[in-house]
Amino acid sequence: MHRLMFLLALTPLSVAAQSHASAGLFVARNSSLPTAPNLAGLELRSGYGSLAMRLSAGAGPVFSSVFGERGVDRERIYGAADLDLQLDLAGPRALSVMPFVGIGMAGLSRVDRGGADAVPMWSYGGSLRVPFGGNVALQLETRERIPFEATDAFDFGITRAWEQRVGLSFAFGGGASRRRVADAGETRDSRATHVSRTTVTSRERRDAGRSLATRRLRVVESAESHLGTRYRYGGASPREGFDCSGFVHHVYSRYGMMLPRSAREQATVGRRVSTSRSALVPGDLLFFRLEGSRIDHVAIYAGDGRILHSTSSGGGVRYDDFGSRRGRWFMDRLVTVRRVIDD
């Protein structure tokens, strides 16, 4: 019965959205198991937007002093596995506090007997992710494990208690950042050029200068290559980090467009276009008033109702979607849009 419940718990992974993902290693001290053993384990995480599903499992040997009939020690291997639903508002490569709730199993395997005892549990807790370079982040976590009431958990030493983890996570993939760049304001012909970087042919690259839509795509692809780069006030390079206008300046300079350095100055270049979403095309620059009455923030429109920008509140370069709470907050403060990739 316990094994069946665990298999059912894994079912949601088959329908989890695949917009971003990570894998990780951790060590944990699990006080819900007898003698509070130290466990080592792995985790896999897959999510879309601010929600993610995470599967993790850990195990560790403990040598007990309980003697059997033959007068020898019994070696036990303790373990736990969990399926968690996690809330992540900052994105997979940014500093974030992530609450979660999950279901799982905890128990022990008796090596000398070839059997195992396990009980289903639910748990809740929070993780702190601290990025420190590229796609790598330190993770600190605590969770309370609670056996389901109708179990014999307490008969073999599994109790309600806390677990602490520390580990490393490695983000990969681009998810939403790698969706096809499409926009309602483009023509059918230009939509045909909105392909992912993995399907861009050498001929299309040679023709990039003759296609506005393709040139815009190249800029967006260049910008998304910096996802997760940390925020730094005054920063204008991947190594030191970016502020909002430094990020835009760096991306466009790679394509021979030397924009001014500050957001207010950048708002004077190019052609002014409507702030209506239907009028936007990838590569447009969106300018905002976040504080006060002057323009103080800039973002790159990436298509499909998303912007790419470097923000202190988001921890660095990230996507924000117009449909999200955070995206709506920015759009309420949109001042003007400038098109710098034009005829």
| Concatenated DSSP letters of 162-210 | EEEEEEEEEEE--GGGGS----TTS-HHHHTT---GGG--HHHHHTGGG
Q: According to the model, what pLDDT value does residue 173 have?
A: 52
Mean pLDDT of 228-236: 93
| Concatenated DSSP letters of 199-245 | G--HHHHHTGGG-HHHHHHHHHHHHHTTTTPBB-TT-EETTTEE-HH
Extract the tokens encoding 147.
């056996």
Angle at 147 between CA 102 and CA 65, to 5 degrees: 120
Rounded Cα gap, residues 47 and 13, in angstroms: 10
Q: Where are the domains of the chain?
A: 2-172, 176-339
Q: pTM to 2 decimals?
A: 0.49
Residue 42 in contact with residue 199, Cβ under 8 Å?
no
User: Binning pLDDT at 50, 70 and 90, where does residue 255 land?
Assistant: confident
- Cβ-count burial 101-114 (b if 16+ within 10 Å, e if not): ebbbbbbbbeeeee
Identity of the amino acid at 224: E
- How far is residue 220 CA from its own chain's centroid? 19
Residue 324 in contact with residue 330, Cβ under 8 Å?
no
Task: Give the residue among 229, 199, 209, 193 at the shortest CA–CA distance from 303.
Answer: 193
Phi then psi dihedrals of residue 305, to 5 deg: 70, 30
| CATH code of the domain made up of 2-172 | 2.40.160.20
- Antiparallel, parallel or unpaired: β 96-110 and 136-147: unpaired
Catalytic machinery residues:
244, 297, 309
Identity of the amino acid at 90: A
Task: Say how many residues make up the chain.
Answer: 343
Mean pLDDT of 325-343: 92
Residue 241 in contact with residue 232, Cβ under 8 Å?
yes
Extract the tokens encoding 256.
């021979």
Mean pLDDT of 110-125: 78
| CATH code of the domain made up of 176-339 | 3.90.1720.10
DSSP H stretches of helix in the chain: 2-10, 188-191, 202-206, 212-224, 244-253, 263-266, 325-331
Q: According to the model, what pLDDT value does residue 10 have?
A: 38
User: Binning pLDDT at 50, 70 and 90, where does residue 92 land?
Assistant: low
User: Binning pLDDT at 50, 70 and 90, where does residue 190 land?
Assistant: very low
User: Binning pLDDT at 50, 70 and 90, where does residue 318 land?
Assistant: very high
Mean pLDDT lowest for which of 22-36, 200-214, 251-265? 200-214
Contacts of 192 (CB under 8 A, 6+ apart): none
Contacts of 226 (CB under 8 A, 6+ apart): 238, 242, 247, 250, 251, 317
Residue 250 in contact with residue 298, Cβ under 8 Å?
no
